Amino acid sequence: MTDETTAPDDLRNETAEQAPEVAEHDRASALEAEIDDLKRQLLYAQAETQNVRRRMEKDAQDARAYAATGFARDILSVADNLSRALSSIPAALREDEAMKPLVTGIEMTGKELDNVFQRNGITRIESVGAKLDPNRHQAMIELPSDKEPGTIVQEMQAGYMIKDRLLRPAMVGVAKVPPSPGIDREA
């Protein structure tokens, strides 16, 4: 009987001796898995922080670059009126000695306004002779012309860009397809 009772005791002792090694190994594996998980979380957190910083820098840069957009849109009507005033001065009035200082003052104001626009990244969209671009032009009318259909033949109001963004589209007239001979359009 002693042999039967000693055998289970030996197994118990042997298992108890191996248990600390197994428990240590399991604990080490769990700690390594936890370290790997924490490293992964740290990398994700660093990447997210970098993305947020880049987004904030771009937003701040855009805010600086385009902060004057509302003001620029408002001042375009002043530029339009000044341009109309300059173009409406008859040649005889330009040559009149009494009016020369006034005309010169209006011209200088126009040039200074152009300089202010240039310093702030505001540029005029060149339209006449170009193909209609719906991202820069607003077609107001189709006009008969010998130009290719879709070509801008008249500018009714100048368009402007602020840096790389549209500030105001140019209002334009475009060449239309000429009527085909022999087709009655009134029918």
187 falls within a domain? no
Largest CA-CA distance found in the chain, in angstroms, rounded = 139
Cα 107 from Cα 83, distance rounded (Å): 9
In a domain, 107, yes or no: yes
* Domain count within the chain: 3
Q: State pLDDT tens for residues 36-82.
A: 999 999 999 999 999 999 999 998 888 877 778 888 899 999 999 99
Contacts of 129 (CB under 8 A, 6+ apart): 151, 152
CATH classification at residue 151: 2.30.22.10
Say whether both 72 and 102 belong to one domain.
yes
Instruction: For residues 148 and 115, state if they share a domain.
Output: no
56 and 3 belong to one structural domain: yes
- Provide the residue range defining the domain that includes 35: 1-67
Q: Report if residue 160 sits inside a domain.
A: yes
Q: Is the pLDDT of residue 134 over 50?
A: yes
